[in-house]
Amino acid sequence: MPLNVPEQDYMYPGHVACPGCGAAIAMRFFLKAMGEKIIIVLPACCWSIIAGAYPQMSLKVPVIHTAFETGGSVASGVRAALDMKGDTGTTVVTWAGDGGTFDIGFQALSGAVERNENFIYVCYDNEAYMNTGIQRSSSTPYGAWTTTTPGRSWKRMRKKNIVEALVAHRIPYAATASIAFPEDLVRKVEKAKDIKGSRFLHVYATCPTGWRIPSEISIKIARMAVQNNIFPLYEVEDGVKYTINYKPKEFPVREYFKLQGRFKHLTEGDLAEIQEMVNEDWELLLKKAGD
Amino acid sequence: MKKVLEGSHAVAEAVRLSRVTVISAYPITPQTHIIEYLSDYVADGTLKASFLKVESEHSAIASLVGAASCGVRTFTSSSSQGLALMHEILHWTSGARLPIVMAEVNRALAPGWNIWADQLDSLSQRDTGWIQLYCEHGQEVLDTVFLAYRLAEAVSLPVMVIMDAFFLSHTYEPVDVPEQELVDRFLPAFKPKFQVDADNLVALSPLVTPNFYMEMRHNMAKAMEESILQLAEIEEDFSNIFGRYYGPIEPFLCDDAEIIMVTSGTVTGTSRQVIQELREKGEKVGLLKIKLFRPFPSEIIRKALGPAKKIAIIDRNFSFGAGGIFAQEVRAAMCNLSDCPQIFGYIAGLGGRDVTTDLLEDIYWRTKKSEVLSEESIWMGLQEENHAVERS
């Protein structure tokens, strides 16, 4: 069945992402929906490399590369300058990884959305510092191995719920999306495009290299994350109106964890504990959505 | 029109007259008055600008990186801890060749918490690729903002306009605030050398391999060097329009001087009086004010100080393990002279302590009477020293 997404591509072939890179897939679908009337602010992340080293570039849209923690602030300045120049037709987009969003860039992001800056902030989430070689972030899920949570000291803290943190700022639009559900992703980008103020998209982006999985199951893992409520697809408007886009009847998480090398140390007991956490988070989300 | 303004107000007036388009700042004492005046101007429409009230100094300078990349004139202001927090993006600004102008109010770094004058904050940023201009009085601060924009936009490097906490930022003086028409003549609308917009497919500041990085840095170095000549031309233009001139350095009563005292910032004003009084007593003493610190105008300074026998440099700052920073720079500039004057480095006025006429005179006599050259910094007015004197 052909995908119902726009034909036009804004990425050149031959970029330098790893095979199966979810971040590259995320950008491809995002741009298809977004079009070319944009300026991308790109704080340090895997995409700093994928976008190409001077004098090459893999994108067909302008990019301002910038420092790690400045996704929210640089975009604010770009927006201010464009508005002063009368250019209100260009959309300003920050494209950042989970490190630049959940951790080091959180302050600038919080500041920008508190001011309700008119821009779209996309966090492509590969659940660790992948560009520097798989170090834990506050987005790394409970139970994961990384190079800084090695061996028996695998991560025992839960993943920060970034969407809820953004929702708490009462921004006009916040949503999750996945590379395994491109039509849903495209719809959300198109919706965000037409809204004014701060818009936040949290995009699940598999990392075969860091998650220790074969590249050919990159999309499969992303699909399972949604189907098993590890990464639910939902939208929140104005900080209050929740819409859940996908509701599975049953959602055993075991298989998702078993397929990934980063979780191979987990015991059946650990997995049972994780299932409880996923159940609990899902219940909470249902309550917020009034479902 | 002559007005009685505090230094902070003079800065704000200059920013208004420079028709800045995007301002971004975060409050810190003693910089706050600057951004309060500017908030008023933007709120009442006197200045048609966008003022981003961001959540930190880091975001203040980073947001200007975004704005300046789109080709508009930008301004920020900070001090001390705030400037230190900006450090990473200060490097970024110059590397990205963005002509951002900042008013920097010299304040001591903590701990202990100290909001008073001390130059270590800005001098710690000497290797960030920003041009640095130190000011003595309110008129100079106002004028230097105009010079800063012309210079920044000519050489594509950011400029810091630097003023002492309270002694300048909060002190009221008569300041000639020029008409908008005159300022427009000197400082026309910004014509960016590059800018990002959606129709212009560029990637600014991308990954750069060792094959290109060094050439980029060399280009920056050339721009920095060129800025000395550029400043001279810009100042000539400025003096033709406004009738005022400052120069990268200003020698004061230096002809035939055997001892030259070297200062920067507000200590200069006090020193002028001391030097004059000493001259009246028949002492062969002069004063050299350094305004341009980055790039360091070594050749000009060498010529000005070369004929003296002794030089006394007064630093309101201290680099631990090295000494006063102006002293280091002057020594480096002088070291290849075959007949180099003796150079004495004095530390005074840290954390806002008064540098009085008595203290400056004391520095002069010490320098004159010293028979042996001391390589070490001489800390002036330490309380322990006073106690030691009392005990003996």
In this prediction, residue A42 has a pLDDT band, given cuts at 50, 70 and 90, of very high
The answer to whether the beta carbons of residues B31 and B75 sit under 8 Å apart is no
Instruction: Give the residue-averaged pLDDT of A68-74.
Output: 98
- Distance between CA atoms of A150 and B333, rounded to whole angstroms? 53
Interface test with B, best of A48, A76, A106, A121 (most B CBs within 10 A): A76
B45 touches chain A (CB under 8 A): no
Q: What is the DSSP letter of A157?
A: S
Interface predicted TM-score (ipTM): 0.97
B196 touches chain A (CB under 8 A): yes
Domain count, chain B: 2
B238 and B253 within one domain: no
In this prediction, residue B372 has a pLDDT band, given cuts at 50, 70 and 90, of confident
- Distance between CA atoms of A225 and A209, rounded to whole angstroms? 17
User: B104 lies in which domain range?
Assistant: 2-242
* Record: fold of A22-289: Rossmann fold (3.40.50)
Domain boundary among B195, B226, B242: B242
Instruction: Give the residue-averaged pLDDT of B148-174.
Output: 98
The CA distance from B153 to the nearest CA of chain A, in Å, is 17
B307 and B225 within one domain: no
Taking only the tens place, the pLDDT of each residue in A268-290 is 999 999 999 999 999 999 999 99
Instruction: Find the CB nearest B203 among A52, A67, A74.
Output: A52
In this prediction, residue B385 has a pLDDT band, given cuts at 50, 70 and 90, of low
Predicted local confidence at residue A155, as pLDDT: 98
In this prediction, residue B392 has a pLDDT band, given cuts at 50, 70 and 90, of very low
The answer to whether the beta carbons of residues B369 and B260 sit under 8 Å apart is no
User: Does A106 score more than 50 pLDDT?
Assistant: yes
Burial degree of A236 (CB within 10 A; 0-12, 13-18, 19+):
buried
Instruction: Give the residue-averaged pLDDT of B152-172.
Output: 98
Burial degree of A69 (CB within 10 A; 0-12, 13-18, 19+):
buried
Predicted local confidence at residue B371, as pLDDT: 87
B344 and B203 within one domain: no
Chain A neighbors of B74, CB-CB under 8 A = 77
B174 and B153 within one domain: yes
Burial degree of A195 (CB within 10 A; 0-12, 13-18, 19+):
middle
User: Does B272 score more than 80 pLDDT?
Assistant: yes
Which amino acid does the sequence have at B6?
E
- Average pLDDT value over all residues in chain B: 96
B370 and B292 within one domain: yes
Interface test with B, best of A34, A54, A110, A193 (most B CBs within 10 A): A54
B66 with A107: Cβ contact below 8 A: no
Chain B neighbors of A36, CB-CB under 8 A = 198
Sign of the C-alpha dihedral computed for residues A194, A200, A206 and A207 taken in this order: positive
The CA distance from A240 to the nearest CA of chain B, in Å, is 25
- Distinct helix (H) and strand (E) counts, chain A: 11, 8
B297 and B195 within one domain: no
Instruction: Find the CB nearest B67 among A81, A87, A108.
Output: A81
CATH code of the domain containing B313: 3.40.50.920
Predicted local confidence at residue A222, as pLDDT: 98
Domain boundary among B184, B213, B242: B242
Domain boundary among B209, B242, B275: B242
Residue B74's DSSP bridge partners are B22
B351 and B223 within one domain: no
For residue A51, give the chain B residue with the closest CA: B206
High-pLDDT (> 90) share of chain B, % = 96
Predicted local confidence at residue B198, as pLDDT: 95
Predicted local confidence at residue B390, as pLDDT: 52
Taking only the tens place, the pLDDT of each residue in B31-83 is 999 999 999 999 999 999 999 999 999 999 999 999 999 999 999 999 999 99
The CA distance from A45 to the nearest CA of chain B, in Å, is 11
B69 touches chain A (CB under 8 A): yes
In this prediction, residue B389 has a pLDDT band, given cuts at 50, 70 and 90, of low
B199 and B56 within one domain: yes
Q: How many CB atoms lie within 10 A of CB A44?
A: 23
- Average pLDDT value over all residues in chain A: 97
User: Does B119 score more than 60 pLDDT?
Assistant: yes
High-pLDDT (> 70) share of chain A, % = 100
Supply φ then ψ for residue B161, to 5 degrees: -100, 120
High-pLDDT (> 70) share of chain B, % = 98
Taking only the tens place, the pLDDT of each residue in A167-199 is 999 999 999 999 999 999 999 999 999 999 999
Predicted local confidence at residue B387, as pLDDT: 53
Please give the structure tokens belonging to residue B379. 């800390």
Give the DSSP H/E element, type plus range, for residue B390. Answer: helix B383-391
Instruction: Give the residue-averaged pLDDT of B258-287.
Output: 98
CATH code of the domain containing B238: 3.40.50.970
